[in-house]
Structure 1
């Protein structure tokens, strides 16, 4: 039998020290998710700005998938093994300093280094060797991201003793997640200032080094400022990774949530990865407007955080999440229909509409999904007497990375269709619309009342 008992009461300071860790990994994640496609599969506007082509272009793998898409596919096979393995090691850990923070501390430095090296290819030109380099570095990136994020996310459930504390933690980490993502989107302003002196490629690399150093400091903050055993009475579980994973997916509500979550991550990642292309190729606006729109979404969504907290007291989390999925589907449809004329601001209206309409959905989906996973994990413990928080959040992390990889495979393949007129980008945006609607339909099947009844909070 396993289990946890919260010991000390959480303070606001501890919550924010914990949330700073998410600022670190979300910044690193944004560096990869937002820019790896445009760096290695640039469009005409980026080539004209001085971008070098490092990888063979087009659907060169079986005529269906790009090299980058193939790397993402391999990465998910890799994750299918490493994610449950790391989760099980963390759940079973008997480290006197805790089950979670020691893993996070060890992963921080290699995670930051791997992020930078993804963009530091050995050959300054087009070569399959660069493809091998990128593949190895991305596999290392996802491995160390798992070693950090799986224990980190497990602490969300373990540190919170009440729904109020769970909401407070989720709100704080949502804020730092969005801020980290915004920092990633701000990269063009930094490398734009450095480009005259360094050239575009080196300016991009130096920008990523600067952000990676900042992210590394953030990753280490919770590992040095929080004593895990002050807040959680650790009782490691027994059993191997396969056994723990099978018990996790035996939970019907979790299976439904994960299926919905995968659809959401495919949709949101295609949108995030494609935003720079949507802005430059469809709306015909400068590349820096990509940053302006995303930061605008971020600030608007942050302003809505307190409102979302109030809504959770009146409406079921399930209903709010479904609403956000539908709203995002509308945003993606507007993106698919967007257009503009080069040298003018005629596409600006579409960008502003996307920015404003996306903010409420960003606020809701930035806070509530992780609280749903925590609810499911705690209700499962109440029903079985065994604590598998690490495995539940590892499965959610895997769903995120699977969604991101499927999005990369789809987007990089679709982007090759009618690249000159942006046909592939429009197809990608429509695909995101459909996937978000599917996520809403699946979430409708989630039995929130059953979960809350097990928690005694119906």
Structure 2
């Protein structure tokens, strides 16, 4: 017997994707904590010293705050995801959690960059650690249910690819705005007479407000009762999480992408150092090259969707991982290759990153959604939230390492005269990419595809 469900219209899908635009702005903004508290030694940022920048027992305050935030969410995230599976809220299993977290996380995101005293102090250090931990917990309350909606509202493999495409575009715009264009906007505000710290905090306030307004849109416009099967899971949270970890295909694929996303943090947090320190360009080039990279990735997006219908998604991800390995190798030797200018070298890397972003930004999410949907078909239990939470649990320890390691490596040299720390960032990321690629080879895609082919759905008219 065919199950009937209403297909979500395009404009509501866009409203859903704008929620990702919002949380992308906030998470990218929070990722600027290293730049704000340990800026490049090029004289362009000129922020006041608000916390000690020295390593304590091998860790900076920033590294410690990021590490503790990941540890705090280690068990919190899976529980939030599993609890949303069991929710019987009148507005839907997921939207209640998204509603109660959108405003608090936006407010806390701003105060990460506004410690109570104007000079380095223990109070500022405690403030930073507390704000970063709280921000990550509140963001989990939003993101776990939000991510769980993709396998629910995407009822076919093609639908899930499209959802991953539009949310990837939304994430990219958030990263472009808060992670790249911010340097251009900051320069503009400084040219208008603002101090560097005032210009930066003004932008943080604007990003916080915009992030909240965007994150509330899916709560308003995505009606779970109409567009999701919304079958409440009767499994206890711990039971659901354990069963998620027993899914071999999901574990292997999640492990591979976890290692990949670790390298992505090295790219996101390191790009300002790669461009200003290794390539000797001004901060404004971060915005220009970032915009060019995302522009090129958007041009590839339609082709990614077309190719995904014709060849294995796994093969596409393998290709992107190989390109990313090459790109990090090029970053590691930037400025040291004779016969080519650093500007030309930089644009070659940006071209590669455009292709990588177009594939890695869409296809891994679609594969994960396919695996989760296949599990619901096999077991009859819809525990998308448990998978989202278990995936977060899976990533917490590995993903806590880059924010811990990056500030420490930068202490080894982050200036044009001593760039050792910046080059080591690229070398470490290169090694991680090789590990990620090897793990991915063990994922059994055929099993998932065969299970999805057995699903029997009929779409009813709105």
- Structure 2-normalised TM-score? 0.93
Q: CA offset at residue 205 of structure 1?
A: 0.6
Gaps of 5+ in 2: 456-462
* Match in the other structure for 1:289: 285
Mapped to 2, the partners of 1:12 and 1:336 lie a distance apart of 42
Q: Deviations over 1:101-149 (max 9, x none)?
A: 1211111101111111110111111122111111111111111111111
Aligned counterpart for 1:104 among listed residues 98, 117, 137: 98
Closer/same/farther in 2, CA of residues 371 and 6 from structure 1, 3 Å limit: farther
Q: In 2, are the aligned partners of 1:79 and 1:142 still within 8 Å (CA)?
A: yes
* Match in the other structure for 1:69: 63
Aligned counterpart for 1:41 among listed residues 15, 38, 42: 38
Q: Structure 2 matches for 1:87-102, cutoff 5 A?
A: 87-102=81-96
Q: How large is the RMSD of aligned CA atoms in angstroms?
A: 1.9
Does residue 448 of the first structure (1) align with residue 434 of the second (2)? Answer: no
Please say which of residues 311-320 and 404-413 is displaced more in the overlay. Answer: 404-413
Does residue 84 of the first structure (1) align with residue 78 of the second (2)? Answer: yes
* Match in the other structure for 2:169: 175
Q: Secondary structure at the match of 1:125?
A: coil
Does residue 408 of the first structure (1) align with residue 403 of the second (2)? Answer: yes
Mapped to 1, the partners of 2:263 and 2:168 lie a distance apart of 19
Q: CA offset at residue 386 of structure 1?
A: 1.4
Q: Secondary structure at the match of 1:55?
A: coil
* Match in the other structure for 2:217: 221
Mapped to 1, the partners of 2:360 and 2:349 lie a distance apart of 16
Mapped to 1, the partners of 2:379 and 2:171 lie a distance apart of 32
- Structure 1-normalised TM-score? 0.94
Mapped to 1, the partners of 2:308 and 2:414 lie a distance apart of 43
Q: Secondary structure at the match of 2:93?
A: coil
Aligned residues: 448
Please say which of residues 299-308 and 163-172 is displaced more in the overlay. Answer: 163-172
Q: In 2, are the aligned partners of 1:293 and 1:355 still within 8 Å (CA)?
A: yes
Q: Deviations over 1:239-277 (max 9, x none)?
A: 332221111100011111121122111111011101101
Q: Structure 2 matches for 1:234-253, cutoff 5 A?
A: 234-253=230-249
Q: Secondary structure at the match of 1:7?
A: strand
Does residue 27 of the first structure (1) align with residue 25 of the second (2)? Answer: yes
Does residue 209 of the first structure (1) align with residue 194 of the second (2)? Answer: no
Q: CA offset at residue 431 of structure 1?
A: 1.1
Mapped to 2, the partners of 1:187 and 1:49 lie a distance apart of 12
Closer/same/farther in 2, CA of residues 457 and 187 from structure 1, 3 Å limit: farther
Q: In 1, are the aligned partners of 2:71 and 2:396 still within 8 Å (CA)?
A: no
Q: CA offset at residue 238 of structure 1?
A: 2.1
Mapped to 2, the partners of 1:404 and 1:38 lie a distance apart of 18
Does residue 150 of the first structure (1) align with residue 144 of the second (2)? Answer: yes
Q: CA offset at residue 401 of structure 1?
A: 5.2
Q: In 1, are the aligned partners of 2:29 and 2:204 still within 8 Å (CA)?
A: yes
Please say which of residues 211-220 and 440-449 is displaced more in the overlay. Answer: 211-220
Closer/same/farther in 2, CA of residues 49 and 77 from structure 1, 3 Å limit: closer
Q: Secondary structure at the match of 2:229?
A: strand
Aligned counterpart for 1:362 among listed residues 344, 357, 366: 357
Q: CA offset at residue 457 of structure 1?
A: 6.4
Closer/same/farther in 2, CA of residues 220 and 408 from structure 1, 3 Å limit: same
Aligned counterpart for 2:46 among listed residues 43, 50, 60: 50
Q: In 1, are the aligned partners of 2:69 and 2:134 still within 8 Å (CA)?
A: no
* Match in the other structure for 1:325: 321
* Match in the other structure for 1:431: 428
Q: CA offset at residue 81 of structure 1?
A: 1.8
Closer/same/farther in 2, CA of residues 228 and 171 from structure 1, 3 Å limit: same
Aligned counterpart for 1:269 among listed residues 255, 265, 282: 265
